[in-house]
Every structure is written in structure tokens, then in C-alpha cells.
Amino acid sequence: MAHLDWSETPKTPLVVNGVTLEYRCHGPAPDQAPTIVMLHEGLGCAALWREFPAKVAARTGMGVLVYSRQGYGQSDPVDLPRPLDFMTREAVEVLPHVLDRAGISRCILFGHSDGATIAAIYGGSVEDFRVRGLILMAPHFFTEEMGLAEIAKAKEVFETTDMQQRMAKYHRDPEGAFRGWNDVWLDPGFKAWNVGEVIDYLRIPVLAIQGRDDQYGTLAQIEEIETRSYAPVDTVILEDCKHAPHLEQPELTLDAVAEFAARLERIEAAEVVPA
């Protein structure tokens, strides 16, 4: 049985390392089907996936778990400043416990932006046979000047417009959510950040999705996966699409996700040998 209240409006808290995390569930519980665990972007949260998780559950027949990391959405606030290796810490110190608390036995990690990086770090750093595949949407493995320039623009917008008030509709602590992301990416020490080595250790199939016009990262991020991974990698590059394929090209993104999930299930079925 799932350890959580498996519903879109759960009453049972998700507590990891003493921190209460907001979450929502769609589709079948983990004891009934595999689960897709969705990890949001740097300014995202459970609610900002909008209707996409429910559509993923409907198309794949799998359960979907979305949660807000500490400092985002309605989850507990986070102490600032975040460490420069916050994505690695999230992958190694928090995500394993989320999977445990949810009672997950088979899953696909589906991350967007920072969430995709966290998923990739998990796949390349933690030996966890529950994780059967990765969907990495607009991932980051190293910094790029064009991406840092966009993040600097975001800081100016946050400080000169009503962005904080708009974020307050979704985030309990909008300033903490913004600063926890923006301050790290703009820290001079972060320019040298590079976690590409985790790709070398991936041993599960990967689906990489990116908009051709992504303003936060070039296709070099996707090429890094293609050239370094020993595991199978499928790539989907979407035209007329920037940093949020699930919002800008939702049907094409959903098609790619559903096809990848179905193929993993076919592989699983083919590997089952009758006693």
C-alpha cells in the first residue's frame, strides 16, 4: 500500500528529514502500477505543473506523484543561502526518502530544468533499482553565459515588477523561493558548476526533451547526454518552443512521454521469464 494519501488533495503529510513537503497524486497508487515522479523547475512547485500531471497519468496509465521541494509551493521554507551544490544534495539526501515515503516500487523520474538535473544526478549517483528510466526536460549539466544572462534578467524583473506578488499565488515564501534559486545561479562561484560526470554512470534509458529556442540552455546540454551516456538515449527537440515544453508544446511533449513510458513497460514485460 502507498504510504501517502494517494489523491489530488491529500490529507496525510509528506515529511522528509523533518521537513513537510506539499504533494499531489494522480492515477493509480504505487501498489497498482508504476509511478512517474515529477520534479519541478527552479521556480516551480506542484501547482505550477498545472494540468499536465493528470494528463500524463491518463495517457500512460501510471500513477503520478508531484511534490514541491523545500522552499517552494506550500512546502516548509528553506534557510538561505542555499549551498552551491543544492541540486546534488536534493538528489542524494531528499529524493530517496520521498520515494520511500511514497511506497514506490517501480518508477520513472521526470524532471524539468533544475528538476531534470536532480533526476539525472540521482540516476547517476544512487543505486536504486526502483528507478527504471529518466525523462529529462530542459536539463542543465553546466552553466552557459546565455542562460546566466537570462537569470540575471529574471532578478531585475523580480526587483522592479509585481513578480513577487504573482509568485505569492503559488509559493508560501515567494522571496525565499526566488532567492534560493537566483542567488545560487548568479553566485560567481557557480560559473564553474558542472555535474556532467553523472551521465557517465547512467545505466537506465533516458528521454531528453528540449525546446529549440530554450532561453536558459542550448542544445549542448542535450548533446552532453547523447555523447556521454552508455545507456539508451532518445531525444526530442521541439520547434517553436522555449524552456517549458509541457506548457508550450503540451501535446508533443505528452506524446513523447507516453511513448517512452510504454516502451519501458514493453521492455519490462519482455524481461520477465516464467518460472
Query: How far apart are alpha carbons 131 and 9 in whole angstroms?
Result: 25
- Domain range summary for the chain, segments of one domain joined by +: 14-271
User: Does the structural domain 14-271 have CATH classification 3.40.50.1820?
Assistant: yes
Least confident range from 15-19, 150-154, 252-256, 269-273: namely 269-273
Confidence of residue 270 (pLDDT cuts 50, 70, 90): confident
Q: Taking Cα atoms as reference points, which of 207, 218, 212 lies closest to residue 147?
A: 218
Query: How far apart are alpha carbons 35 and 4 in whole angstroms?
Result: 13
Kindly state the percentage of the chain with pLDDT values over 90: 96
The predicted model gives 107-134 an average pLDDT of 98
Is pLDDT above 70 for 274? Answer: no
Whether the CB-CB separation of 208 and 258 falls below 8 Å is answered with no
Query: How far apart are alpha carbons 186 and 80 in whole angstroms?
Result: 14
Is pLDDT above 90 for 16? Answer: yes
